[in-house]
Amino acid sequence: MCVVAIAWDAHPRWLLVAIGNRDEYHERPAATLAPWPKEAGFGSGIIAGRDLRAGGTWLGVSEQGRFALVTNYRAPGYPQPGRPSRGALVTDLLTGRQPEAIAEMNPFNLVLADRDGLRFLTNYPEEVAMPLPPGIHGLSNGGFESPWPKTHQLNGALESWLSGDAADFTPLFTALRAETPEADCALPEDGPEPCYAPVFIRDPVYGTRCSTVVAIDREGNGTIVERRFDAQGEATGETSLPFRWP
């Protein structure tokens, strides 16, 4: 049950700002945000966390000038075991490779950005790839054209931040920690169960594992920050790394 808001070419200073939560089973092992080692075959400057079970990632940047993230798409009859890992999509795109077996993967939403623009990809209910215009876009675990209430909530928080001084990341992390849906929130029929409706999910089995903020200015100077949480929803650490886009 992930959620993300992305501002693309929507601010005088910032080319891209992305804020999002990764929700996952707490027992699933993951490595913290870090540059991926070149000796392991990742020689393209990937900076990301890493799923230690399947080997991919959910969100990352590349110093080749790419940003990508993936969310699961909730659909009847899915996920199905034995299908290729969706985390490999992000790894492939960050290294400039064309992903394979997209149709065989469980349903997903994906966003890719580089100097040429922002693009959305999905494989459900059919494969779609389309450019996205400048502005603020949100993703969660439903259809891109029918965003969930918490997606609207996070989009609004990012819009408010951009209309202010847009320098201090603290309000963005505050927005990512929202554990209460907006008062007028009405869940759609295909939306999440009430326990998964908030932006931040506090649950001892399946909940928010980390919050991430990515900001890249128009000169190519970037920062990626990951804040991590335990099964009780308490912060356990934070990593902030600078990077450059060509």
Interval 24-58: pLDDT, tens: 999 999 999 999 987 656 656 899 999 999 989 99
- Give residue 81's pLDDT: 94
Give the residue from 40, 128, 125, 47 showing the smallest Cα distance to 90: 47
Whether pLDDT at 108 is above 70 = yes
Whether pLDDT at 233 is above 80 = yes
- Give residue 48's pLDDT: 97
pLDDT digits (tens, 9 = 90+) for 177-202: 999 886 555 445 555 566 788 999 99
- How would DSSP label each residue in 178-219? --S--TT----TTS--GGG-SSS---SSEEEEEEEEEEEETT
**Domains of the chain from N-terminus onward:** 3-244 (3.60.60.10)
- Give residue 37's pLDDT: 85
- Give residue 130's pLDDT: 97
Q: Is the peptide bond before 81 cis (omega within 30 degrees of 0)?
A: no
Q: What separation in angstroms does the CA of 159 have from each of 33, 135, 153?
A: 26, 9, 10
Whether pLDDT at 150 is above 70 = yes
- Give residue 24's pLDDT: 96
Mean pLDDT of 147-162: 96
The CA distance from 7 to 18, in Å, is: 6
Q: With cut-offs at 50, 70 and 90, classify the pLDDT of residue 105.
A: very high
- Give residue 1's pLDDT: 62
pLDDT digits (tens, 9 = 90+) for 194-227: 678 899 999 999 999 999 999 999 999 999 999 9
